[in-house]
Structure 1
Amino acid sequence: MESAFNPAQGAVKPADLLDQHIGGLIACFPGSTLVFRHHGIGFCCHAEQPLAEVAHANGLDADLVAKELCQLPDGPVTLPDVHDTGAFIDFILDRYHQVHRNEIAELVLLARKVEAVHGDHPDAPVGLADELFAIAENLDMHMAKEESVLFPAMREMQKHGAVSAALALPIHCMREEHDDHSGAIHRLHNLTDNCTLPDGACGSWRRLYNGTAKLIEDLVAHIYLENVILFPRFE
């Protein structure tokens, strides 16, 4: 079982990041996907690989990438102890479930506005609003199942100090749905040309792509923390 990368605030050094998974770094360093995009690192496909390994495969200087991550202004974020199941689940609920619900609806409205006003622009993200709406619906159903069934069962097992095979099937189902979410992330990349703004993009278009980039980053981190850190404790 992978341990969550959990640096002390302000104490992390570039060398500390080289062996850490891309997904864990995204969870701990808000804005890290900007660094990965700048260096051409496909962070969604490589979330469970160490930074040094991914950098080497792409002919990149891993130390330079790690240094840029350490220079991000809002990191590192301290994660709860994964052995405290209740605290870790609460973190996921507050940091990801609630944030998704709060932010995606606004992105759908922004996308519809941009498509309506700039639909004849060659770089217009035609279809993005529909994709975001589908993501919102699928995520809402997915998170509701975790909140009503899986997470309460995990809390109960933690309370009694026992792990049961009864969670194997629901966890498997959640993993399959995470694969669907990963497919949606790829579609978001394609529809926005990796969130690349055209010259002269209006304020709404900028807010849309900034919000979509954050959604992608949050989804990658969310999926990673569940697939690699939380779920294996109950499998």
Structure 2
Amino acid sequence: MTQTFTETSVVGDIVTKFPKSSDLFKSYRIDFCCGGNRPLIEAIQERNLSAAEVLANLNALYEETTALHESRIEWEHASYSELIDHIIHKHHRYINEELPQLSPYVTKVLRVHGENQPHLAQIHRLFHELRIELEQHLIKEETVDFPLILQVEKNRTEKNVQQLQNVVDELENEHNHAGNILKELREVTNDFTPPPGACGTYRLVYQRLEDLESDLFQHIHLENNVLFPRAVSGK
């Protein structure tokens, strides 16, 4: 079998070239968004995984998917405006709709079951910390970062590139913080596994938290590993 990806392949680059790899990385709990700028072998060793197994499964999935001629948008070649529009209309829209809808359910589960299950208070705290973080973050992206990226694309100067780098550094730090909250949520929820006999609302909260994590991973990956590096470097 052809080894398209190796131990030295950068995690974020793998997901950029082969988006479906994110599903495999998620199953292995390999961070491909905030931790995407490192060789695959480092991520494998961090999780105490078998390098041979991960690489075999990754390359097999790539060959299988390529054989099906799966069409996709190559974001690494798209214009900045196309990529920004995609991020806003898919990922920002999802977050802006999902967070206020999910919040009452997180509170309800705490109110009903929190007395006997103290970890629900931690879930409630982490979720609302994440909500505040993300809501403020999206505003910064849409009012400061994205307009600046489009400005740099039209008229690239040393001054606005440095300004962009400063903004990107702030946003990536915020991504790291959001990623750490997601890791805590996954740990507290036992990989989003509801306890036996959990009610429908309880199960709903866990499933939607996992869906939120999945969308955020794709969202942060597109920014950290594709849009921001391209905009700063001018590629």
The answer as to 2:140 corresponding to 1:145 is: yes
TM-score by length of 2: 0.75
- Stretches of structure 2 that go unaligned for 5 or more consecutive residues are none
The answer as to 2:54 corresponding to 1:64 is: no
Paired residues of 1:14 and 1:63 also in contact (CA < 8 A): no
Distance 1:76 1:127, change over 3 A: farther
Larger CA deviation: 46-55 vs 210-219: 46-55
How far is the alpha carbon of 1:106 from its aligned partner?
2.1
Could you tell me which of 164, 169, 172 is aligned with 1:167? 164
Paired residues of 2:182 and 2:213 also in contact (CA < 8 A): yes
Paired residues of 1:81 and 1:87 also in contact (CA < 8 A): no
Aligned to 1:127, the other structure's residue is in SS state helix
Distance 1:47 1:31, change over 3 A: closer
Quick one: distance in 1 between partners of 2:73 and 2:191? 28
Distance 1:42 1:170, change over 3 A: closer
Aligned to 2:191, the other structure's residue is in SS state coil
Paired residues of 1:114 and 1:205 also in contact (CA < 8 A): yes
The answer as to 2:112 corresponding to 1:117 is: yes
Quick one: distance in 2 between partners of 1:155 and 1:229? 15
Paired residues of 1:21 and 1:47 also in contact (CA < 8 A): yes
Distance 1:80 1:224, change over 3 A: closer
Query: What is the aligned length?
Result: 218
The answer as to 2:161 corresponding to 1:155 is: no
Could you tell me which of 11, 22, 35 is aligned with 1:21? 11
TM-score by length of 1: 0.75
How far is the alpha carbon of 1:102 from its aligned partner?
0.9
- Counterpart residue number, 1:92: 87
Paired residues of 1:89 and 1:151 also in contact (CA < 8 A): yes
- Counterpart residue number, 1:107: 102
The answer as to 2:215 corresponding to 1:218 is: yes
Q: CA RMSD in A?
A: 3.4
How far is the alpha carbon of 1:25 from its aligned partner?
3.4
The answer as to 2:47 corresponding to 1:47 is: no
- Stretches of structure 1 that go unaligned for 5 or more consecutive residues are 1-12
Larger CA deviation: 54-63 vs 134-143: 54-63
Paired residues of 1:118 and 1:124 also in contact (CA < 8 A): no
Distance 1:44 1:92, change over 3 A: closer
